Structure 1
Amino acid sequence: MTDSTQANGPLIVEGKLADNERLKGESNFLRGTIEQDLSDAVTGGFNGDNFQLIRFHGMYQQDDRDIRAERTKQKLEPLHNVMLRARMPGGIIKPEQWLAIDKFAADKTMYGSIRLTTRQTFQFHGVLKPNIKLMHQTLNSIGIDSIATAGDVNRNVLCTTNPVESELHQEAYEWATKISEHLLPKTRAYAEIWLDGEKLEGPNGEATEEPILGSNYLPRKFKTTVVIPPQNDVDVHANDLNFVAIADNGKLVGFNVLVGGGLAMTHGDKSTYPRRADDLGFVPLENTLDVAAAVVTTQRDWGNRVNRKNAKTKYTLDRVGTDVFKAEVEKRAGITFAESRPYEFTGRGDRIGWVEGFDGKHHLALFIENGRLLDYPGKPLKTGVAEIAKVHKGDFRMTANQNLIVAGVAPEDKAQIEEIARAHGLMDDGISKQRQDSMACVAFPTCPLAMAEAERYLPGLVDEVEGILAKHDLADDSIILRVTGCPNGCGRAMLAEIGLVGKGPGKYNMHLGGNLAGTRVPKMYKEGLGEQEILTEIDTLVARWASERETNEAFGDFVIRAGIIAEVKVSKRDFHD
């Protein structure tokens, strides 16, 4: 360990530890009393520390906020249930697995839907306590788990969904899987509680060490990606640790390592801000896992365990200095970073529709608005995907943009797949580029952190924005538009050209100035806007963009060049100025 203080700031933040540190330390390696809580029929929720500990097992306790007030009047507790997020490195799922999760969603959840998320996986929403153990056992039976998809651990590892370049994608996907496995908690708590696994040998049947994560796990959540340029579909600057694939003659040779990205912030707290990741340099493939562990353990030891609002890796880098953090990673990994290899991001959207890969297989990217797969009147989307799964011979790939790719389709099977997709509303030639470039988090009614609508607000908002673009003869253009119900960053609004962040019911802070490649953080333009005020502002801004833009100038670049908003170059310095 390096000395505890140095020029930029303390390596270790001293002070009273956050209460989460107590509960992790007392949890018996994430077991707590979850098993006993499951048999408590008095409440539909989890008690005490278990409310937090179930997150390490991939679940969040929620309730239906639409009916919370009515239940209170009836002197009933909120309708407690859990949301589960599966661990699916790279987002690849087999058709037979899909059919199993489709059936569970239909039979055992309150909402009947499958939600594709920005973490490149699926979520079940509305699972009641009696069905929680069955849910984990159902997933386990098809080779899926939810270990470490929430809580203070490394979460689901994302990987560019690029089935066109099949060989390179396969290599990158395999590394995403290796990284995920390497950084997983070693405790057997998940298997013991949910899968009736045998208790470990030991004084109290407990695991006795976590060599990478430590007995108190990480100071805060930690997110990792593997990305294949030129696509930045995983939004690397939203993540703590990123491996940018570098290829030589089509073969993966190593990674540029980017550290310290993150989007969450807290309203009114200027010590919090979204931040781009810093490029530490290039490492060959054989050093990948050692570097991943070194970054995680450095953050484990140096991250802020006193103030959780400043506990993410991005704040550690700004406190100690990127060069100091890099040197410690080199020391722990036993490597020296080489100079970064050149690469460029040119876009981050999914290529909706059919594309042909180098191997002659075809891949159909389906646009799923907000990632919500449900059977709507006239658009039975969930049934449609299940029908495709019954005949599809390849795999499915969930994207970090909440879409679904039917990958590896033989030429002779294309017509059948397309016929099913169109019959169920999964293919619509009228979907605008603007709708494809818009995204929202879940927010109401299930997210307990939501301050404003997001998923339910977005479709109508996009209708209005499409109208504004058409009004100004820009119908063929689009703006990367993202809405989140709170400032925690799940919908990645802090990498949008227009990012709306929920402040209260019907009120949003408007941020401007992100770019198409996802390499620039937007800055707050106006605070606490109502829905009509948002449309008025967008109309005014788009009118200027239409009349003043340079050739092919994107909206986010225009608002900075025109002086409408200042560019955020260094978040700690510029974001709140």
Structure 2
Amino acid sequence: MSNEKSPFIVEGKLADNERLKAESRHLRGTIEQDLKDDLTGGFTADNFQLIRFHGMYQQDDRDIRAERGKQKLEPLHNVMLRARLPGGIITPTQWQQIDRFADEHTMYGSIRLTTRQTFQFHGVLKPNIKLMHQTLNKVGIDSIATAGDVNRNVLCTSNPIESQLHVEAYEWAKKISEHLLPKTRAYAEIWLDAEKVATTEASVEPILGDNYLPRKFKTTVVIPPHNDVDVHANDLNFVAIAENGKLVGFNVLVGGGLAMTHGDHSTYPRKADDFGFIGVNDTLAIAEAVVTTQRDWGNRVNRKNAKTKYTLERVGVDNFKAEVEKRAGVSFAASRPYSFTTRGDRFGWAEGIDGKHHLTLYIENGRILDFADKPLKTGCLEIAKVHQGDFRLTANQNLIIAGVPAQQKDKIDSLARQYGLLEDNVSGQRLDSMACVSLPTCPLAMAEAERYLPAAIARMETLLHKHDVTRDSIIFRITGCPNGCGRAMLSEVGLVGKGPGKYNLHIGGDREGTRIPRMYRENIGEDEIFEELDTLIGRWASERNDNEAFGDFVIRADIIKPVVDSARDFYD
């Protein structure tokens, strides 16, 4: 961190996470010693937090926590691992190894596709953790910096159709990810048995700093008109600007984020600000300058206000932007025009400009597992055995079988249908719905999300049918807590977990993901939620303008006020 004193640095007693990072020996802590401790299945003291920087969260099965307590047993500790996959691309060979490890060494046997365009293993017990990292490493995958106070997995629009433009954008997503990674060798030393090499302390983390970032940091590369990565959920976004199908630069959006804390009005979701246009050659310099400015100016006293969005509100957008320009030696030009017209994934078969074919599969909740009526996991494995292209994980928890040559299309289609991966009767409402993992594994969960979503969608479908609007759908998302993983704060209808069976009902976002919904009802149960939605959808069906989306209707009809400036009007 820079020694230069700035008026924008928050003074006060530092949050304990700052002590933890400072004393961690650049993320090593005593993790190796904990691995050898077989008296507990978990990690102790600071290591509980430090393993997050290595891509893992300690969890337990909350469904059986009370019963284990009665038996005088500790919770069934295990870890969830989130892989680092910039742009979400996996080869068939990598998929087969991922499948095998999930099958043989996890408690649940599933592969979970996430809203961060990667996959997660859930339920890995301590004796298998090192094996997990080494198995992934052998096929070129790691989990460095997919959690913790660092720049996390970099998203990129899943757009295999415009092949050349996507390749260029994807390459920048990879470059940004590599450039902003922690430089400490802690990951390699602990998990891959790399040789321990002494380094000069001052040279270890030139970008992230010895105390790393004040809070998590998320970055995307997006190709308009498809806002499939939800740019306003992220700290830093590079909006691709193309001329004649070739990438010429990016508009840079800074300061988005969706997490908040119930009852704390100093926290709120926020849209990103457009700083302006840069040429492609300035991409890494700007990325580094935004990260280092947030590193030095972000709030290290109060973690609830430590994200980039709060830094911009506190210091002013113009001051933050000027500092980025100063550090990068680059001046932003006026933003180039662009628009977002779609947000979700484009399902089914599509042909790219290179003649290759791409099949986007709907994966409910992103959970790839062999269910009784749908052996999805086996199906993906069978496709991986014959597929000649790659797999692309989307930021909406779905899967693209990409780069299929014409002569193999029928084979892939047949396999997808055989194993229930491809169906013709999935409703538009189901395709436009999403949830975070929540219970039983997430320690922050207050209410159900993933397990509740199928039933909640069914009730939404019933209401659409009742009011004769089944040709339409509503962007519908559920999160088990207010931390934002399911991106409910960019939906037309969002449920945010408040307690067991209770949610805050938010409405009024738009289909493009450029407006934050406002809370309409607080702390209500399922029946009351759908009674409210019954009335609202009924009004939408009878009073809307031609092709008017639900979120736009409730704003125009003055059912709810739009969120214009979150810091000042989100709680009005």
TM-score bracket for this pair, using the shorter chain length: over 0.9
Aligned position for 2:132: 135
1:446 and 2:441 correspond: yes
Aligned position for 2:362: 367
Aligned position for 2:113: 116
1:425 and 2:423 correspond: no
Amino acid of the structure 2 residue aligned with 1:31:
R
Aligned position for 2:265: 270
Aligned position for 1:476: 471
Amino acid of the structure 2 residue aligned with 1:12:
I
1:201 pairs with one of 198, 201, 213: 198
Q: Deviations over 1:243-281 (max 9, x none)?
A: 000001100000000000000000000000000000000
Aligned position for 1:68: 65
Aligned position for 2:344: 349
Shift of 1:200: 1.1
Shift of 1:208: 4.6
CA contact (8 A) 1:57 1:190 kept: yes
1:567 and 2:569 correspond: no
Shift of 1:558: 0.4
Amino acid of the structure 2 residue aligned with 1:117:
T
1:169 pairs with one of 153, 166, 171: 166
Amino acid of the structure 2 residue aligned with 1:410:
P
Aligned position for 2:187: 190
Aligned position for 1:333: 328
1:287 and 2:285 correspond: no
Amino acid of the structure 2 residue aligned with 1:439:
M
1:461 pairs with one of 446, 456, 466: 456
- Counting only pairs closer than 5 Å after superposition, residues 88-103 of structure 1 correspond to structure 2 as 88-103=85-100
Q: Deviations over 1:443-476 (max 9, x none)?
A: 0000000000000000001001001001100011
Aligned position for 1:319: 314
Change (3 A) 1:36 1:478: same
- Counting only pairs closer than 5 Å after superposition, residues 72-91 of structure 1 correspond to structure 2 as 72-91=69-88
- Counting only pairs closer than 5 Å after superposition, residues 539-558 of structure 1 correspond to structure 2 as 539-558=534-553
Amino acid of the structure 2 residue aligned with 1:566:
K
Aligned position for 2:303: 308
Change (3 A) 1:433 1:327: same
Residue range with higher mean Cα deviation, 208-217 or 437-446: 208-217
**Residues in 1 aligned to 2:440 and 2:126: alpha-carbon distance in whole angstroms:** 19
2:12 pairs with one of 12, 15, 20: 15
Aligned position for 1:516: 511
Shift of 1:4: 5.8
Q: Deviations over 1:517-574 (max 9, x none)?
A: 1011111100001001111011110000001100100000000001111000110011
CA contact (8 A) 1:256 1:280 kept: yes
SS in 2 for 1:125: strand
- Counting only pairs closer than 5 Å after superposition, residues 374-385 of structure 1 correspond to structure 2 as 374-385=369-380
Amino acid of the structure 2 residue aligned with 1:435:
R
Unaligned runs of 5+ in 2: none
**Residues in 2 aligned to 1:162 and 1:131: alpha-carbon distance in whole angstroms:** 35
**Residues in 1 aligned to 2:202 and 2:453: alpha-carbon distance in whole angstroms:** 45
SS in 2 for 1:60: strand
**Residues in 1 aligned to 2:166 and 2:571: alpha-carbon distance in whole angstroms:** 39
Q: TM-score scaled to structure 2, two decimals?
A: 0.99
Q: Deviations over 1:391-430 (max 9, x none)?
A: 0000000000000000000111011001000000001111
Q: Deviations over 1:114-137 (max 9, x none)?
A: 000000000000000000000000
Aligned position for 2:250: 255
Shift of 1:202: 4.3
Q: How high is the sequence identity, in percent, across the aligned residues?
A: 77
**Residues in 2 aligned to 1:11 and 1:555: alpha-carbon distance in whole angstroms:** 41
Shift of 1:3: 8.6
1:28 and 2:16 correspond: no
Shift of 1:378: 1.8
CA contact (8 A) 1:29 1:207 kept: no
2:240 pairs with one of 239, 245, 253: 245
**Residues in 2 aligned to 1:574 and 1:567: alpha-carbon distance in whole angstroms:** 9
Aligned position for 1:46: 43
SS in 2 for 1:376: coil
Q: TM-score scaled to structure 1, two decimals?
A: 0.98
Change (3 A) 1:106 1:3: closer
Runs of 4+ aligned residues of structure 1 deviating over 6 Å after TM superposition are none
Shift of 1:287: 0.4
Aligned position for 1:150: 147
1:486 and 2:487 correspond: no
Amino acid of the structure 1 residue aligned with 2:21:
K
Task: Report the aligned-residue RMSD.
Answer: 1.1
**Residues in 2 aligned to 1:306 and 1:566: alpha-carbon distance in whole angstroms:** 33
**Residues in 2 aligned to 1:352 and 1:440: alpha-carbon distance in whole angstroms:** 18
Shift of 1:209: 2.4
Amino acid of the structure 2 residue aligned with 1:216:
N
1:126 and 2:128 correspond: no
**What is the number of equivalent residue pairs in this alignment?**
571
2:54 pairs with one of 53, 57, 60: 57
CA contact (8 A) 1:101 1:139 kept: yes
Shift of 1:2: 11
SS in 2 for 1:364: strand
1:506 and 2:506 correspond: no
1:229 and 2:224 correspond: yes
**Residues in 1 aligned to 2:223 and 2:368: alpha-carbon distance in whole angstroms:** 27
